[in-house]
Structure 1
Amino acid sequence: MSAMRKDADVFLFQLMLLLCAIWGFQQVAIKLAAADIAPLLQVALRSGIAALLVGALILWQRGWQGWLGCTWRGGLLAGVLFALEFFFIALGLQYTSASHIAVFLYTAPIFSALGLHLLLPHERLYRLQWLGIALCFAGIAVAFGVGLQWTTMDRYVLLGDAFGLLAGAAWGATTVVVRGSRLSEAPPTLTLFYQLGVSFALLLGYAAVTDQLGPIRWTAISVSSVLFQGVVVSFLSYLTWYWLLRRYLASNMAVFSFMTPMFGVTFGVLILGEPLSLNFVAGALLVVLGIVLVSNHAWVGKRLSAWLALR
């Protein structure tokens, strides 16, 4: 019998606050170090560092035994999609702000919900979720400034935003692959290793072919950025997330996780001095609201029912 998972408490809130701040800062870290080391090389190195750490943990725990034969196909596909996610993040950060990438990346639950709806009969979408999808895509249209007159600089921003949206789609597709394959039953560390190992090989190979391996300036900012992404984000924070999933209700954790794009926007403005247009702020709020409805429709439905009962 599986262990009972707890409702949200102060400890979960505090730890999720820290995790969301870490995840919200990662795009800012890449942008800060972009002058010293190419964003694509940064995301490749972060995957390589984390893959070594996760691989050592798997060997120590013997978490690979009995799983490699039935998971390697799904693992390779999940790794390719994971590489695409960070490829689009690195590409997008060359054209748009870290704030924009932080919001569009977290459209991933929308794409995963649509994919699971099409592939798995028990993952059908409910009315609140369809409403959330509609709100999310309306928010994307508003944030993209549909109908506005664009300058050449604005078009570059729009291109970067589109790459951020593609990163979210790749992340959502990764979730579909994991849920629809034997990876859903495998140890999460093995799934994470597939993603990190394959993405490291693909991203580093692409960086070499496209001559993005240098020049590198190993400054305090560039070293800190790569270590932060590889050790803190891709290793410690992801393992902490999986540890929390085994102890708390996933729906409660998902609600807290939507603080991440807000942290990303805040850090982008405060640290990088990124401007925020009114249409982006309005669109971002619609996107986040839509994501909350899609990912937590049951939780939202209960709260709405309780509120209506008190009227």
Structure 2
Amino acid sequence: MEAQKNINSSFWNPIIYVAPFFLWGTAMVAMKGIILETTPIFLGALRIFPAGILVLMFVGRGKSVQPQSLKAWGWIFLFALVDGAMFQGFLAEGLLRTGAGLGSVMIDSQPLLVAILCRWLFKDMIGFWGWLGLGVGIMGISLIGLPDDWIMSLVEGNWGAFYFSWEGLFNNGEWLMLLASLSMALGTVMIPYIGRHVDTVLATGWHMVIGGLMLFILSGVTETNQWVNISFSGWLSISYATIFGSAIAYGVFFYLASKGNITSLSALTFLTPVFALTFGGLILGEKLSFLQWGGVSLTLVSIYLINQRTLINQKWQNLKSNFPWLNVNEKIN
């Protein structure tokens, strides 16, 4: 019986860890497909407000206690502002100006920000192999998302083209995606603090409800004709982004964040653009270039380096003990 339990655990654990990033990647494709039928802030609100209600209904069936203190509610409101309203608002506005795959790439630069914040706040040591993995991951998502002509101009030393292309990127919404990335990184590192005062899944539900209300208010003030042009297929896309891309994905992600190593979990975010680009190509016709496929490969390598860094380091130390000439100074925290 115990052996069967271990088999089941080893089978489901990778699926559970990958699920949020698959759902986020495909939700980006669903949102991009509907973005022209509605308005961005309203779409951001629609994605998280109903999802928050679903999460609260699910948690309400268990034994989770509602927030009891002003400090708990204070953390939830801050979480709602940063990871709810700001993240979804920047994401939706940026998605209006860029593709699903490229937007996902820009957002998913956040593991490096998480690693730096965790190093500063929690003394979370990721070591040489972890930092190497993060560096490879940044290279990977850069190859996936940056224009090929920009990359070739850099290789050729054409810095004038580099500046022009950089300016063009910011005019096309990628900077909004980077702001979304920063918002998500800040929300992720809040989790250990929030977990001291309230159940993290419960806080996830409330932060989506409150953040959604903030976006609904902002949409009411700044946007018009939010829902009149949404088709039936559009409502199906919104439902998918809400239920699977928010309620389930957020609940699983923040539950795992409260139980494990934040840096390792966040590093799996590099999978999100892989899923977004794959399904963006299949559904929206977004194509990958040779350089972008190279970026996908580097992204997968980075995930392996970061999440297997302890095992890799053990094997490296064993190898160095057998071959002393391999000893180098690699004391990177």
Identity %: 21
Amino acid at match of 2:205: F
Distance (whole Å) between structure 1 residues aligned to residue 20 and residue 142 of structure 2: 29
* 1:159-308 equivalent positions in 2, closer than 5 A: 159-179=172-192, 181-184=193-196, 186-212=198-224, 214-241=226-253, 258-283=270-295, 285-286=297-298, 289-290=301-302, 293-294=305-306, 297-302=309-314
Computed over aligned residues only, the root mean square deviation of the Cα atoms, in angstroms, reads 3.8
Q: TM-score, normalised by structure 1?
A: 0.79
Work out whether residues 31 and 39 of structure 1, in 8 Å CA contact, stay in contact via their aligned partners in 2: no
Q: TM-score, normalised by structure 2?
A: 0.74
Distance (whole Å) between structure 2 residues aligned to residue 113 and residue 168 of structure 1: 13
Per the TM alignment, residue 225 of structure 1 is displaced from its structure 2 partner at its CA by 1.6
Q: Cα deviation per residue 1:67-105 (whole Å; 9 max; x = unaligned)?
A: 443322221111111121111211121121101122222
Per the TM alignment, residue 220 of structure 1 is displaced from its structure 2 partner at its CA by 1.8
Per the TM alignment, residue 184 of structure 1 is displaced from its structure 2 partner at its CA by 4.8
Equivalent position to 1:155, from 161, 168, 177: 168
Distance (whole Å) between structure 2 residues aligned to residue 84 and residue 259 of structure 1: 22
Distance (whole Å) between structure 2 residues aligned to residue 141 and residue 135 of structure 1: 10
User: Are the structure 2 counterparts of residues 10 and 27 from structure 1 closer, same or farther at C-alpha, using a change threshold of 3 Å?
Assistant: same
Distance (whole Å) between structure 2 residues aligned to residue 75 and residue 23 of structure 1: 22
Distance (whole Å) between structure 1 residues aligned to residue 255 and residue 104 of structure 2: 24
Structure 2 segments unaligned to the other structure (5+ residues): 324-333
Distance (whole Å) between structure 2 residues aligned to residue 62 and residue 176 of structure 1: 25
Work out whether residues 32 and 221 of structure 1, in 8 Å CA contact, stay in contact via their aligned partners in 2: no
Per the TM alignment, residue 140 of structure 1 is displaced from its structure 2 partner at its CA by 5.8
Per the TM alignment, residue 174 of structure 1 is displaced from its structure 2 partner at its CA by 0.6
Amino acid at match of 2:209: G
User: Are the structure 2 counterparts of residues 105 and 199 from structure 1 closer, same or farther at C-alpha, using a change threshold of 3 Å?
Assistant: same
Give 2:25's aligned residue: 24
Give 1:72's aligned residue: 73
Distance (whole Å) between structure 2 residues aligned to residue 137 and residue 161 of structure 1: 15
Per the TM alignment, residue 49 of structure 1 is displaced from its structure 2 partner at its CA by 0.4
Amino acid at match of 2:104: A
User: Are the structure 2 counterparts of residues 158 and 140 from structure 1 closer, same or farther at C-alpha, using a change threshold of 3 Å?
Assistant: farther
Which secondary structure state, in structure 1, belongs to the residue aligned with residue 35 of structure 2? coil
Distance (whole Å) between structure 2 residues aligned to residue 17 and residue 291 of structure 1: 11
Structure 1 segments unaligned to the other structure (5+ residues): none
Give 2:327's aligned residue: none
